[in-house]
Amino acid sequence: MTDPVFTRRRFMLGAAVTGTLMLARWPSRSAPAPAPVLSGTEFQLEIGPIPINITGRPVTGTGINGQIPAPILRWREGDTVTLAVTNRLSERSSIHWHGIRAPSPMDGVPGLSFAGIQPGETFVYRFPVRQNGSYWYHSHSGFQEQTGVYGPIVIVPKDGYAQAFDRDYVVMLSDWSNESPGTIVSNLKFQSDYYNFHQRTVGTFFDDAQRNGLADAVADRLQWGKMRMSPTDILDIGGAAYTYLLNGQPPGRNWTALFRSGERVRLRFINGSSMSIFDVRIDGLPMTVVQADGNDVIPVTVDEFRISVAETYDVIVRPTADRAYTIFAQVEDRTGYARGTLAPQAGMTATIPPMDPRPLRTMTDMGMGGMQPGSMSGMDHGAMSGMNHGSMPGVSGMGVSLEAKKLVGSVGVDNVAEVPTERLNRAGEGFPAGRRVLTYADLRATRPGRDARPTSRDITLHLTGNMERFIWGFDGKKFSEAEPIVLQRGERVRFVLINHSMMEHPIHLHGLWSELENGHGAYRPYKHTINVKPGEKLSYLVTADEPGRWAYHCHLLYHMDLGMFREVRVP
Amino acid sequence: MIVRLYRSLLMGLVPIAFSACASPEPAPAEQELAVPLGVDLGGSGPVAAPVARPQGEPGYSERVGQTQMAHAGANDAHGTGTVNSVDLARHKVEVTHAPIPEIGWPSMTMEFPVAPSVDLKEIKPGTRVNFTIEQQPGGMYEIKVITPAGGGR
Amino acid sequence: MSRQRKILCACGAVLGLAHAAAGQTPATPAQPTVPGEREFGQPVMDQGIFAHAILNQNEGRWNDTETEYRWEGQGWVGTDYDKLWIKSEGTVQSNGTVDDGQDQFLYSRAITTYFDLQGGLRSDIDSRPTRNWAALGIQGLAPYFFDLELTGYASGQGHLAAKLEASYDLLITNRLILQPQIEVDLYSKADPPRLVGAGFSSIDTGLRLRYEFSRKFAPYLGVVYEGKFGQTASYARRIAESTGDFRFAFGVRIWF
């Protein structure tokens, strides 16, 4: 049998050989400067105005060292880092190291930690780094985080990594709007559905009637109408205002991470956006989640995960084919996406998948239980999502607590969940069947927690809001109307959060770890930001081992700024 | 055998040829459209043995002698450096200074507010100076005393 | 009781009352201090003041007999709880006279999730004699998404009045919105110089179809009906004015 000259095997062999040569000889064939990495123990950071052009219209944003996102800070566990931050803006600024356990004066929250950095001033942060993993840093002043003051932190472990990998990339997701944040808030104050162009219409009514029957469709409309709520409220601000960025690049720019087939690639996903929750997947590549919020978890392989604002997930992927893969991060309301490419060579692209169908809020999200008339139409595919449709969501408590009842009808509260559900084993709405989606119940720490003491008390907080007036708070109150939450030094407490609103809230406690009670006992995961689903009730344990005035707030920037903020004080 | 290898290499050169012809060095206009590449932070190195210590790390206060911040009482630190510029209107100086071990600062160039009582007339750009800084409420350091270092008169 | 005892009792009583009073005043609990703590201002400013204004009706109205211009708008400035609110409406006839002019200056206080309590002054300012009223009412979003305003008025002369306004936004598409709207005025006593009769006086209602090019700028087409009833209608007939008119409307709904 003749040996044809042009066999596929030979071609691949040759291509592999020369491909390697190419990569070696032309390492940066098509690269304008990528975001630089700053390493070491001493850093000079300058916050200032930056010209930026995302949509074709040049505008002025704010950023660090002339770039958005800010440079990757690469620290080593065990080092003491010194960061001199100079403010070249014309308003007060600050930098908060998100998820980093630093002494309170170094935490960077103007009003709680320090006075902020005045224009022209330099503030020197200095603290020992005693943890490792992926984190991020951002301004805690005004809306500067929205206009570009955010960047990644990578802390190399002193004891080495728990899983091997060959390449390591930061994937920072964010949202950008040319509209000024002040205008965005003002618009929402007048018309809270200003940015929602996917509301239910006469057309969708007829579709629903056709699918579920006229009586059902009418009952459903009446049920939501009576509450003056809309099940299409997924995100306050979506693609109508935002362009979604991956490492500062809009989807069309095709940010690319290079790999060689067979290599293990670590991707550090950081959600550095202000208001956007992303559903991340790489078609053709399952992802093995190895760290959540900077802490090791028993590796769990999924097809997709939802990453809420300020969370981080480190995943390892192993592309075996010599082709490009699309890193696809669609926002929860399906009005846009961020996108990057994993490829053997720069310039390659893979298909960008269509966005999944838009989810709708359900009666479970409203905390009204699942068995309501008309809810059959509202029983969206979210209820059949993921691999966890075995157990019914745990119904907790005997209905509305007394303190929650008092909130009904007040100016800051538009809904009180009568039947909040414990459903950490559910991923949320909007995931088509057949994909493995990460849930909080999947996160199991690799080592048991440090503090095994029983808790001294439960601190229950109700996450509340009034969508119509666009007011957000805890227990129906804004920050300015509330007292600090005081913990004893060294106290072990349980925080119980009940989300009475119909939107997710990523709740972040500065300075102290939040140990999420997700059924794994002593192996509960250590997190800094916990996403509470609408109508959900969850709890986590905190050891108040660090004195200070710690900020505690929803990390949706406009919610935080409009009152969803508290001080947790440890004397 | 060599012939086979030779043929493989030849075939492997085909992609080079293609790419060499198809994509010459990008023209300046194309440069802007060039694909942004991620920075590879490197591999993991040898994998660690499982760590025995528990999750999380102890709070700062548990560690003895850890305080790097506000030393009880003495908020002062002393440094030397060179003045780059003096802003009499805002009463500030920009100084490039040597490391200040008392508060653990490395060598830096930065602007300091100066206490109102201090006379900045003698302080000119280029002067080598000794200075004392004190931490103010809010964390910022202010120059309390600043004098030309010997030989400056 | 001896005099000293009386004094003692009195002092004791005063002290007791003072103590009780002090005990009852909710003392702001002194917050335990944190090492290195000082006052640094506020981390978030959540008592922001916002200002907006909207022209809901900003339209030319015409039929084969008459053309007129109608405006109806509101504006407010304030915080989530307290606002200063202005409302204004009126119709300009083709001969330049202004009809049906009403301006309200109100203080608005958020009282429930969806409703504000409003009180202040209403001035009827147009080409007819001016009238002033005290106003008290509520405004907000009623169940099933009806926008509702219900206000009562009292004048210095002992006249009472009431106004009801309601509207609904029906989304045909996300940008094409059909809005039925109705405004009804009632008066307790007749006011002939203003051609207003006692009882159920007039109705101004319309069906407007707007297209939101942007949220803040939406041209619309509509059909409106201006009706007069009872005594008001008879006043109108006396001066040969019609008591019920359909008109086409074209305008732009704008807000900032």
Predicted confidence pLDDT, tens digits, chain A (571 residues): 444 444 555 545 444 444 443 333 333 333 223 358 999 999 999 999 999 999 999 999 999 999 999 999 999 999 999 999 999 999 999 999 999 999 999 999 999 999 999 999 999 999 999 999 999 999 999 999 999 999 999 999 998 999 999 999 999 999 999 999 999 999 999 999 999 999 999 999 999 999 999 999 999 999 999 999 999 999 999 999 999 999 999 999 999 999 999 999 999 999 999 999 999 999 999 999 999 999 999 999 999 999 999 999 999 999 999 999 999 999 999 999 999 999 999 999 999 999 999 999 999 899 886 544 443 333 343 443 333 333 344 544 445 678 888 889 999 999 999 999 999 999 999 999 999 999 999 999 999 999 999 999 999 999 999 999 999 999 999 999 999 999 999 999 999 999 999 999 999 999 999 999 999 999 999 999 999 999 999 999 999 999 999 999 999 999 999 999 999 999 9
| Residue of B114, B117, B77, B76 lying closest to B95 (CA atoms) | B114
Test A563 with C170 for CB contact under 8 angstroms: no
What is residue C178's three-state secondary structure? Answer: strand
What's the full length of chain B, in residues?
153
Q: How far is CA B9 from the centre of its chain?
A: 47
Chains that touch A (3 or more CB pairs under 8 A): B, C
List pLDDT tens digits, range A269-299: 999 999 999 999 999 999 999 999 999 999 9
Pairing assessment for the beta strands A304-307 and C131-142 based on DSSP bridges: unpaired
The reported pLDDT for the residue numbered A372 is: 42
d(CA A465, CA A473): 6
Please indicate whether, in this complex, the C-beta atoms of C40 and A115 are within 8 angstroms of each other: yes
Alpha carbon distance A17, A260 (integer Å): 12
Beta carbons of B14 and A14 less than 8 angstroms apart: yes
Contact C32 A569 (CB under 8 A): yes
Residues of chain C contacting A105 with CB distance shorter than 8 Å:
36
Task: Show the DSSP H helices in A466-521 as ranges.
Answer: none
pTM attached to this predicted model: 0.83
Between chains, do C38 and B69 touch, taking CB under 8 Å as contact? no
Are C171 and A185 a contacting pair at CB < 8 A?
no
Query: Between residues 535 and 554 of chain A, which touch chain B (CB distance below 8 Å)?
Result: 543, 545-547
HEC string for A81-107: EEEEEEECCCCCECCEEECCCCCHHHC
pLDDT value at residue C78: 97
Taking the alpha carbons of A385, A386, A387, A390 in that order, is the dihedral positive or negative? negative
Residues of chain B with pLDDT under 70: 1-33, 59-75, 150-153
Residue A5: list chain B partners with CB under 8 A.
7, 11
C33 touches chain B (CB under 8 A): no
Q: Is C250 helix (H, G, I), strand (E, B) or coil?
A: strand
Contacts of C38 in chain B (CB under 8 A): 137-138
Residue type, C61: R
Q: Residue C125 has what pLDDT?
A: 93
pLDDT score recorded for residue A477: 95
What's the number of CA atoms in the CB half-sphere (13 Å) around residue A523? 12
pLDDT given at position A17: 45
CB atoms near residue C157 (< 10 Å):
10
Alpha carbon of C110: minimum distance to chain A alpha carbons (Å): 7
Residue B18: the pLDDT is 53
Alpha-carbon separation of residue A105 from A149, A155, A546, A548 (angstroms): 20, 21, 11, 8
Partners of A115 on chain C (C-beta within 8 Å) are 40-41
Neighboring chain B residues of A123 at a CB cutoff of 8 Å: 139-140
Q: State how far the Cα of A538 lies from the Cα of A557, in Å rounded to an integer.
A: 22
Of C34, C45, C170, the CB nearest to A547: C34
CB–CB contact B138 C38 (8 Å): yes
DSSP A372: -
| Separation CA C74–CA C53 (nearest Å) | 6
Rg (CA), chain A: 24
How near does any CA of chain B get to the CA of A222, in Å?
A: 50
Residue type, B66: Q
Residue A329: name the closest of A281, A391, A274, A390 by CA: A281
Alpha-carbon gap, residue A528 to A511, rounded angstroms: 9
Single out the residue of A440, A547, A545, A546 nearest to residue A497, CA to CA. A440
Residue A174 and residue A307: Cα distance in Å, rounded? 11
User: Please, is C80 exposed, middle or buried when counting C-beta atoms within 10 Å of its C-beta (0-12, 13-18, 19+)?
Assistant: buried
Cβ separation of C175 and A112 shorter than 8 Å?
Answer: no
Mean pLDDT estimate for chain A = 89
Other C-beta atoms within 10 Å of A454: how many? Answer: 7
**Residues A327, A287: Cα–Cα separation, whole Å:** 11
What is the C-alpha R_g of chain C?
Answer: 27
Mutate to test the interface with B, among A38, A88, A121 (most CBs of B within 10 A): A121
From the list A113, A199, A571, which residue is nearest C171 (CB)? Answer: A199
Work out whether strand A537-543 and strand A492-499 pair parallel, antiparallel, or are unpaired. Answer: antiparallel
Task: For residue A245, give the nearest of A184, A152, A329 by alpha carbon.
Answer: A329
Cβ distance B138 to C36 less than 8 Å, yes or no, reads no
CB contact under 8 A, A37 and B41: yes
Residues of chain C with pLDDT under 50: 21-28
Domain boundaries for CATH 2.40.50.320 within chain B: 75-148
Touching C: which chains, 3+ CB pairs < 8 A? A, B
- C160 Cβ contact partners less than 8 Å away, ≥ 6 residues apart: C152, C153, C154, C187, C188, C189
Are A5 and B7 within 8 A, CB to CB? yes
pLDDT at B29: 44
Nearest CA-CA distance, residue B77 and chain A, Å: 14
What are the residues of chain C with a beta carbon less than 8 Å away from any beta carbon of chain A?
29, 31-37, 40-48, 50, 52, 54, 80-81, 110-114, 141, 143-145, 170-175, 215, 255
Q: Are the C-beta atoms of residues A129 and A78 closer than 8 Å to each other?
A: yes
Nearest to B55 among A14, A124, A295 (CB): A295
The tokens describing C13, both together, are 């009583």
- In chain A, which residue's Cα lies nearest the Cα of C41? A111
Three-state secondary-structure class, residue A453: coil
Which phi and psi angles does C189 have, rounded to 5°? -135, 155
Beta strands in A283-363 (DSSP E): 287-292, 295-302, 304-307, 312-317, 325-331, 337-343
Burial of A341 (0-12, 13-18, 19+ CB in 10 A): buried
Contact present, C250 and C208 (Cβ < 8 Å) = no
pLDDT tens by residue, A421-465:
999 999 999 999 999 999 999 999 999 999 999 999 999 999 999
Min Cα–Cα distance to chain C from A549, Å:
7
Task: Kindly list the strands in the beta sheet with A255-258, ordered across the sheet, starting from the edge strand earlier in the chain.
Answer: A255-258, A337-343, A325-331, A278-282, A304-307
pLDDT of residue B8: 56
C36 neighbourhood in chain B, CB within 8 Å: 69-70
CB crowding B2-22: b at 16 or more within 10 Å, else e: eeeeebbeebbbebbeebeee
Q: How far is CA B120 from the centre of its chain?
A: 29
Could you tell me the two tokens for B148? 């030309």
Bridge partners of A66, per DSSP, are none
- At residue C22, the pLDDT reads 45
The DSSP string of A30-83 is T-PPPPPEEESSEEEEEEEEEEE-SSSS-EEEEEETTBSSPPEEEEETT-EEEE
Is the previous residue joined to A58 through a cis bond, with omega within 30 degrees of 0? no
CATH code at B75-148:
2.40.50.320
